[in-house]
Structure 1
Amino acid sequence: MSTIIPLISSGTCGPLGILHLPRLWQKVSLDVAGKLNAEYPAIGGGYDQMLLDAFGLNKEVFSAFMQSKPTYPQLEAWLLEQKGGQLDQAALEAFNASVLGYNHTDDTRKEILAANGIEDNGTLLDAVNLNNLDDWLGFHINVIR
């Protein structure tokens, strides 16, 4: 069976405006279906855990809900239900800012850029774009080559 590298960027949001939530939904959905590429955790410690923490979601409860294989809009509806029908706008804005403002370590940045044949001139620092490059390279290696 072929596995899939998630290609939804952490910089993507759905109708609720929560960055990374579409990617987390895709990763866990692929995992539930047994199709997530082994190099990717269904729920990891980076942006995934940051999202759960920012919105007060329990990892086990979230994982249990995802076993029902919800559509993306169903996930957003469930999240709103968990929050009493309304998101804390300040928490949403703070979380989105933390996603966009996060930079990888120098070693991680250098590794991703080198693997992609891109000179590290100090202009590409943010983790969202570096992670995109990493995903796209993995896709190319595993699917295109």
Structure 2
Amino acid sequence: MSLKDQITEDMKTAMRAKDAARLLTIRGLLAALKQKEVDERIVLDDAAVIAIVDKLIKQRKDSITQFAAANRTDLVDKETAELAVLEGYLPQRLSADEVAAEVGKIVAELGATGPGDMGKVMGAVKTRLAGKADMGLVSAAVKQALSK
């Protein structure tokens, strides 16, 4: 079963359970997936679905930061609940040590030496670690590896 099919099944389950908060989040995710398919006239594979889920998670994290700064705990709670639902669709993430090890391998493969090679390294890292690691953590690991 593809990830998109799993999301659709989860929506049906949330409908039957009358779980309004979960249902709203899943419908928003399905709408984002459908929008991408319509805009680009493609059928999304699991990697593309994970990329969209990652994007939505980043949006939720940014919203949580903004709402917390404005002392809007009601909205922070709502966004946190949505974040938890969305994170359920991501594969197991790599730890910081695993990310650093992968980045080290890629830097060695490319022969990158300094901060000027950041773009080249990030391009390779994104293709290899897409959906497997938090890109903020990856970017920090690349900066660290290139500053040595």
Q: TM-score, normalised by structure 2?
A: 0.31
- Specify the structure having the higher radius of gyration (Cα): 2
**Larger helix fraction of residues:** 2
